[in-house]
Amino acid sequence: MAVKTIQWKNDRVVMLDQRLLPHKEAYRVCRDYQEVAQAIREMVIRGAPAIGVAAAMGVALGAAKAQVKTFDRDFERIFLNLSKTRPTAVNLFWALERMRKIYTVNRSRGVDVVKRLLKDEAQAIYKEDIAANKQFGKFGAQVLRNARHLMTHCNAGALATAGYGTALGVIRALKEAGREFDVFVNETRPFLQGARLTAWELKKEKIPATLITDSMAGYLMQMGKVDAVVVGCDRVAANGDVANKIGTYTIAVLAKRHGIPFYVAGPTSSIDLNCPSGKEIPIEQRDAKEVSHIFGKALAPKGIKVFNPAFDVTSQELISAIVTEKGVIQPPYQQNIRNHVGH
């Protein structure tokens, strides 16, 4: 059964509420663009490609409800509101720019036409994302053909995309190719996307998975128990530096020390040629309570100061290859990324 991460249904955006997994499969129905923005901010939906799809649907939803008289002002407000939800994943801005282009190019054809075309575009972004996932699944499965023991961080699965997944898309493709392997799942504190989401997806797919805390990855590598690491990405800079969930950098440093290949999987919409390097990627700082509390209960003494960066940057020299729907990018990245996206 496919996971229904996000859907457009009768002029509503319906999302699986990922904060409730693995305990409960409940859906959040967004009736206007503000509700979509809120859902993105609160991480009801998360994962770079899924955030892109949600933002596109948010624009379409907002536009659908906008009045003819105030359409242009409303469009700008919708756009601005959604663009402020989360700063790191570039897919959000990429999707918004695609929506703006539809608006700009077709504005002269009238509000009703624009509204219809925005809906079509959001649907196209949704469908293209699933198709891209399946594409790099194939490429990734080829890259990983000799790995028996994989490790992944965070959730780059069907839940992080329109469906199928990036890193987990590669893992699904390996399964479909009949390979035998197992996966170490880093729990991924503080939001526990590994424990809650990736473990849940792998279990549904009957792929053997072992849950560990993030702090155990080094031990497993030291013991020779990991053949390859595969993760998703929130933004790839022009030089190949990759922003991804906090803790990814640490896993990459450990993999390098142990001579374990470290792969990044993501759609070309995650590549940002306007960012020369990881230094220019904005890193979101989130609420202290995500670190200091679990299930509403404090883990630490009251009033403790907390630092909560949601992402980190993995330097390009730690990355063995980047897999997209167009194929596999090898180092040196500076030149190869440009060639890959056709610039």
The residues that touch a second copy, with contacts defined as CB under 8 A, are 22-23, 184, 186-190, 192, 195-196, 199-200, 203, 208-220, 222, 246-247, 249-250, 253-254, 257, 283, 291-292, 294-295, 297-309, 312-313
C-alpha–C-alpha distance, residues 333 and 331, integer Å: 4
Residue 289 Cβ vs a second copy, minimum distance, rounded to whole Å: 11
- H or E element at residue 136: helix 111-143
Burial of 258 (0-12, 13-18, 19+ CB in 10 A): middle
Q: How far is CA 200 from the centre of its chain?
A: 17
Residue 284 Cβ vs a second copy, minimum distance, rounded to whole Å: 12
- Could you tell me the two tokens for 194? 């590994």
Q: Check residue 62 and report its DSSP letter.
A: H
Please indicate whether residue 234 is annotated as part of the active site. Answer: yes
Residue 262 Cβ vs a second copy, minimum distance, rounded to whole Å: 14
Residue 66 Cβ vs a second copy, minimum distance, rounded to whole Å: 40
* Number of CB atoms found within 10 A of residue 173's CB: 23
Q: At what angle do helices 33-41 and 71-83 cross, to 10 degrees?
A: 10
- Of 250 and 334, nearer to a second copy (C-beta) is 250
- Of 185 and 337, nearer to a second copy (C-beta) is 185
Q: Are 233 and 265 in contact (CB under 8 A)?
A: yes
- Of 103 and 184, nearer to a second copy (C-beta) is 184
Of 129, 214, 227, 234, catalytic: 234
Residue 152 Cβ vs a second copy, minimum distance, rounded to whole Å: 14
Distances (CA, A) of 179 to 174, 221, 222, 340: 6, 22, 25, 28
What's the CA angle centered on 101, arms 100 and 102, to 5 degrees?
Answer: 90
C-alpha–C-alpha distance, residues 110 and 177, integer Å: 49
C-alpha–C-alpha distance, residues 256 and 214, integer Å: 17
- Of 146 and 285, nearer to a second copy (C-beta) is 285
- Could you tell me the two tokens for 107? 């504005």
3-state secondary structure of 184: strand
- Of 206 and 343, nearer to a second copy (C-beta) is 206
Residue 184 Cβ vs a second copy, minimum distance, rounded to whole Å: 8
- Of 35 and 201, nearer to a second copy (C-beta) is 201
C-alpha closest to that of 233 among 178, 262, 195, 271: 271
The catalytic residues are 234
